[in-house]
Structure 1
Amino acid sequence: MKSEPSNPSVCHLFASCGCDLSCSGKQPAWIKERPSLTVEVHPPVGLSGQSRSFRRAHLSPVTLLCFLPLNCLGREAEEAVGAPPCCTSKGLLDIVVDQLTPLQTGSFCSRTSSPHECLRMPSIFSYQSAEVDWCEGNFERSAVIAEYYNTISNVSFFVLSPALLYLNRQYCQKKAVPLYFVSGLLLLVGVFSMYFHMTLSYMGQLLDELSILWTLAVAYSFWYPQAYFPKCIKTRRHFFWLTGITTVISTLMSFIKPTLNAYALNCIAFHLLYLTWRELKKCNDKRVHRMAAVMVMWWALAITSWISDRWLCWLWQAINFPYFHSFWHVLIAMSLLYCCPLVIYFDVSYEMPSFKPKLEYWPSDSWPVVVPYVTLEEPHKQC
């Protein structure tokens, strides 16, 4: 039974393929002017080809048509929909390909490609080619940025990296490599996450997830206490090799089921929390305990936002507030702003016995909201 959408030039095309569709838009010249459409597509069971299942999203019809299964854009469909005048002089597929931009189609689709070749070979750089789509509506506030708030919220990582380097500069003077490496990788996390949410491309998804994996790997390599090394590992150099091999294997495995990568990465946080708990048992400094508590608070708020956006999207869309993943970006950056000085504190205790780590707060202790950092004092006394 075909649906009766309000925009015949676009929606009847879906109905001819058996798609359950509701949409609204403007007429005429929908291809030429690229009007905004609000669409909800549920491909029918057994539909062949690489289909995209869209939640409610604002897209241009050109963008939407590019991700339909190939058999939804045959000549039979074109003849059945009663296409507007701009589509009758040329084949509907030719019109679609002619209007697509490189950003929407990636390197596999160009004006010289045949329509069927273009639609059969989506690029890993194509817009919306990722296996993950977050709750925020797509292209609602920009024709170029898929998830607007999820994209701009990554600015928090651009603030985090230089803040860590500046505030903990005394540590960097004595042991520069670890914090410079980690800060640089955190900056890349922000860049790749911004790219992913701007395009929702498959490549963006992998770069986003793998940059987090490699940041964690580097942090473990430099800062994991030797007291917790496996018995077969005798030196830090051996631990580097173990971490590197494990990370390479994890990187290759991430291509098997990319939708599970984010869950696996979030599980690593529980190991970090366990290590923090063990270290706090050996430390009597109240400032350290307070900083750890604040770090856990920010992390709890962050992971709650992440899970809410992932599993309660229907609720947030119902109240028109699907922005919790953007909160995740800001809150996890705040958690890292407390986590990194905490790790540095313990690293100084273990690896730099000639110094005593001391927690300080910027701008000062009297402020209600402060940012912690580590200074080094002599002589060293056990915490």
Structure 2
Amino acid sequence: MSNYLLHPPAKRTFLAPQISQPLQSIAMRLDRWLDYESGHAWCESAYKYQTISVVAEFANTVTNLPLIMLPLLNVLLIKPYIETVNCIVIMPHILLTVNGIASTYYHATLNLFGQLIDEISILWLLMMCLAAYFPVFSFYPQQYHKYIGRVRCAIAIITMVVSTFCFVKPSLNALVLMLWSIPSIAIIRHEAANAGIPEIINSPRKISVLWIAASICWVSDRVFCDFWLFLGTPYFHALFHLLSSLAAYNVFIMFSLIDICRRSDKHRYRYRIKYFPEKGLIRLPYIVLNLDCKYL
């Protein structure tokens, strides 16, 4: 994206130049991974370092805050359930927070290491969602529940193998990860339709609208950057962060409810869905858990 640079900054490095010969080769390799701007730059990079001198893409950096905070909010709200019933559901939430932190570092530095950590954390997030929630999927045969541990091990091994391919052609990683959203949306729609939970009937539509809008922003930033620069609005990737964080949060709300309902024989919690704000076009759902009074 060199044709978008207005004022290219001087090359920065994290490593001292005066080092011994055996370490020099390692240093040169690390430079490739840790140097500023060694990764893929987004449209906002045309104005890089102008808001804060040490942050390459300011808007793309700060809009990761919802990715970091929203999953932690859901963990806090269903903490009693996580502690007493199913602790593994915390893992996808933690990985989304890790992805938000990795994305923050990536857009602040634009180095290749940050880019790969960002993309690999998304891969592990997708696989961890599968590993955490597949036991309560409607299409998972009940008679195979004794093999849950083996299936999770297989998912982990496959994820480790696939992770190595992220280093082969880093420029293709983001596109491949975006394509994974197609089967993910199909699973979301299927599970919501077969869960028998009135509160999540409209979740697939909401998630799909948010994700489609986010995907349009992602493609627009990547393909039509010259046009957005002409208009002075190179912030569609930042908008992608905001929309995708809302979509991911709604996915967690939906599957948290499915998990709570499908494991109802193992706990005495009752849930309610509330919204903040209570009225308005854009409302954030959240789960309120209470113990059923008749079991107290």
Match for 2:230: what amino acid? Answer: A
1:84 is matched with: none
**Distance in structure 2 (CA, Å) of the matches to 1:128 and 1:146:** 8
Residue in 2 aligned with 1:123?
32
Q: State which of 243, 249, 264 in structure 2 corresponds to 1:337.
A: 249
Are the aligned partners of 1:193 and 1:204 in contact in 2 as well (CA < 8 Å)?
A: yes
- Identity rate of aligned residues, in percent? 23
Does 1:141 pair with 2:51?
yes
Counterpart of 1:296? 208
By how many angstroms is 1:340 displaced? 0.2
**Cα displacement string for residues 68-124 of structure 1 (whole angstroms, at most 9, x for unaligned residues):** xxxxxxxxxxxxxxxxxxxxxxxxxxxxxxxxxxxx1233x526699xx89976431
2:95 is the counterpart of 1:185: yes
In 2, Cα distance between equivalents of 1:193 and 1:244: 22
Q: Give the CA deviation at 1:264.
A: 1.7
Q: Secondary structure at the match of 1:297?
A: helix
- Which structure has more relative contact order (CA 8 Å, sep 6+)? It is 2
Report if the CA contact (8 A) 1:106-1:124 is conserved: no
Are the equivalent residues in 2 in contact too, given 1:309–1:324 (CA < 8 A)?
Answer: yes
Gaps of 5+ in 2: none
Q: Equivalent of 1:166, from 54, 73, 76?
A: 76
Alpha-carbon separation, structure 1, partners of 2:278 and 2:170? 44
CA-to-aligned-CA distance 1:192-214 (integer Å, 9 cap, x gap): 11111111111111111111111
Does residue 110 (structure 1) correspond to residue 17 (structure 2)? The answer is yes
TM-score with structure 2 setting the length: 0.83
Q: Residue 10 of structure 2: which of 46, 52, 62 is its match?
A: 62
Distance in 1 separating the partners of 2:262 and 2:126: 20
- Which amino acid letter does the alignment assign opposite residue 295 of structure 1? I
- When the two structures are superposed, what TM-score results if normalisation uses the length of structure 1? 0.66
Alpha-carbon contact 1:168-1:373 (below 8 Å) kept: no
Larger CA deviation: 190-199 vs 121-130? 121-130
Offset from partner CA, 1:339-383 (integer Å, 9 cap, x none): 10101122233344356864511347555543223447769xxxx
What is the SS of the residue equivalent to 1:353? helix
Q: In the alignment, which residue of structure 1 is the partner of 2:240?
A: 328
CA contact (8 A) 2:14 2:35 kept: yes
Unaligned runs of 5+ in 1: 1-52, 64-103
Q: If you compute each CA radius of gyration, which structure gives the higher value, 1 or 2?
A: 1
Which among 189, 194, 197 is matched to residue 282 of structure 1? 194
Displacement of 1:60 after TM fit? 4.8
Count of matched residue positions in the alignment of Structure 1 and Structure 2: 283
Kindly provide the CA deviation profile for residues 299-343 of structure 1, in whole angstroms up to 9, marking residues without a partner as x. Answer: 121111111111111211121111110111111111112110101
Q: Whole-Å Cα distance in 1 between the matches of residues 36 and 145 of structure 2?
A: 45
CA pair 60-292 structure 1, distance change in 2 beyond 3 A: closer
From the two aligned structures, give the one with the greater helix fraction: 2
